[in-house]
Structure 1
Amino acid sequence: TGGMAGALDRTDQARMRRSGVLPLSVEEGMALFDVAIGADEPVLIPVKFDLTALAAQAGAGQLASMLQGLVRRPRRTATAGGPVSAISLSDRLAGLPEEEQTEMLLDLVRDEVAVVLGHTDAENIVPGQAFSEIGFDSLTAVELRNRLMRVAGIPLPATLIFDYPSPVAITEHLRAELIPDAASGTVQPADVDEAGLRKALASVPLERLQELGVLQQLLRLVAAAPGAADSGATSPASSETGQSAAHLIADMDVAGLIERAMGNTTN
């Protein structure tokens, strides 16, 4: 908890343990440093590995390539009935009703978020809460994306939590990717004119916008809209200082929020 690791919180330490890296005592660190500077090798990494954790990663096909030589890969034995292919997540979802598909994916996302943040219980993960509000940084964002790619079996963008800034938003994205038919009823931009879009968005409750991670994006648009400074709109910087969404929108209803977000600042 001191020295170079003094700034690491519990989440950082948990991530290191999952990666198979163990902490070094001061004595171990200094001894390895002495060995490193006295060696002829140009690039050395003094590190203590948890070989059991690395072996588990190798068994799951998750071990980094540069560490492959540190542990033995588990032998694959054929079963009596021949190789058995795992049922993909998309196959498991395909036979479920839409509501159960969403519930299953949301549970999966919340489980992975809990692991990344070092929580023992996924119940602590609020589905509609923005990742920026629950302690995610660039490293945890990458880890979550990688973990979800492995369990979902599909490629995901490096900007995943920024494109889909809440567990609910990621859930809906995964469902659309894993079950293409789920997105078939999605309204395309060309199908809605500006007036129709205003009306449609204004009909969505604020709570639902917040669940989907859309509210914060709209608030940023409001702050950036022409005349926002004169109208007393709150800047993105102030929203990041911990003010609640309810305080940011004050007395503005959804219709007013949409009007300002879309550039209508006459009222």
Structure 2
Amino acid sequence: LTAKAASAALLDELTADLDAFVLFSSAAATLGAAGQGNYAAANAYLDALAENRRSRGLAGLSVAWGSWAGGGFAASSDAVRARVKRGAMPAMDPALAVRALGEALEGTDSALTVMDVDWAQLAAGVHELPLVRDLPEIRNLVAAGAVVDEGELVGRLRGLGRAEEQTRVLTEVVQTEAAAVLGHASAEAVQDRQNFKDLGFDSLTSVELRNRLSTATGLRLPSTLVFDYPTPVALAAWLRAELLQDYVAEVPVLAELDRLEAALLGGPKDESVWEQAADRLRKLLDTVDSAVPSRLRREAELESATDDELFSLVDELD
């Protein structure tokens, strides 16, 4: 932050009557950028400095750039190139970017953003970017129904009924999005009980996964999501509780079980804690079993009975 902001402040102090005072900002200052809080703040300072110079009657222009093709940060590694390619703002053709700079120098704006945009992809996550909701391109896509309704996922989950099936579907969603963030060809590369850290997630890719899951579910999710729920199945259990909280609230006991499941799957893997939890759960299960009507217990026994046990029961009935 200091390198950009302090340097720009000194240049402002040392210069006055110029034909042009041009600052290179970043789209990170306009829309934010995962894992780049300091960089976004530094460039936001440049935008504000250009506005301030104009208010003082001096030349001032801040251009907030998107990613450039042909080298630089957007091509610093294979992982970064893949991430930019998957994003809603692909790397720009340098010739077009330079042309835009020339037009900006001739214009009257003190601050503007220049970036290439995949509008359909940006619209899919528009709830995370309130700044762009009213752009004509976004409004047209929403009007045309191009933005997916996150309610479809909730409807699908409710149609399944059983908690195990709902968690399985959400686990597949988490695995698919995690695989996409890591650049894997399919979700099979992400095991349901594998720790996100072991899969290779860092702070930047964790936020990217959070953003993708926010788009898929319509939920506002914390940036610490994959650290709080460190495996796909643990995260899926928590997502289920959040997505269906109104639905499962009709049966409070089941809602509490959902929260318990998420806490167990996402909690510390301390052996003594697990032993205490297992012991208490066994006692609780004994209490539940004693309260279940005999007919239901009998049905449960029949569902789990072996062939020999079923034949023996038939013989008893005869």
TM-score by length of 2: 0.47
Shift of the 182–108 alpha-carbon distance from structure 1 to 2, 3 Å rule, reads farther
Q: Cα gap change, 1:155/1:28 in structure 2, threshold over 3 Å: closer, same or farther?
A: closer
1:196–1:30 distance in 2 versus 1, CA, 3 Å: closer
Q: CA deviation at 1:85?
A: 10
What CA distance in whole angstroms lies between the structure 2 residues aligned with 1:149 and 1:111? Answer: 14
How far off is 1:76 after superposition? 4.6
Q: Find the counterpart in structure 2 of residue 69 from structure 1.
A: 135
Q: Secondary structure, in 3 states, of the residue corresponding to 1:45? A: strand
1:172-202 deviations in Å (ceiling 9; x for gaps): 212333345545243999xxxxx98463368
Alignment partners' CA distance in 1, 2:128 and 2:275: 50
Partner in structure 2 of residue 138 of structure 1: 203
1:7 counterpart residue number = 76
Aligned length: 189
With 105-114 and 130-139 compared, the bigger mean Cα shift is at 130-139
Separation (CA, whole Å) in 2 of partners of 1:65 and 1:150: 13
- When Rg is computed on C-alpha atoms for both structures, the one with the higher figure is 2
Contact kept? 1:109, 1:171, Cα under 8 Å: yes
Q: 1 or 2 for the larger relative contact order (CA 8 Å, sep ≥6)?
A: 1
Q: Gapped runs of 5+ residues in structure 2?
A: 1-69, 265-270, 280-318
CA RMSD in angstroms comes to: 3.9
The normalised TM-score by structure 1 is 0.55
Using a 3 Å threshold, how does the CA distance of structure 1 residues 147 and 3 change in structure 2: closer, same or farther? closer
Q: Structure 1: 5+ residue runs without aligned partners? A: 79-83, 190-194, 204-267
1:228-243 to structure 2, matched below 5 A, reads none
Q: Spell out the pairing of 1:62-211 with structure 2 (5 A cutoff).
A: 64-67=129-132, 68-71=134-137, 73-74=140-141, 76=143, 86-89=151-154, 92-93=157-158, 95-179=160-244, 180=248, 181-185=253-257, 186=260, 197=273, 199-200=275-276
CA contact under 8 A between 2:89 and 2:115: conserved in structure 1?
yes
Indicate the SS of the match to 2:123. helix
Aligned residue for 2:56? none
Q: Which amino acid aligns with 2:256?
A: S
Q: Which amino acid in 2 is paired with 1:142?
A: V
User: Identity percentage over the alignment?
Assistant: 32
Deviates more, 1:59-68 or 1:105-114: 59-68
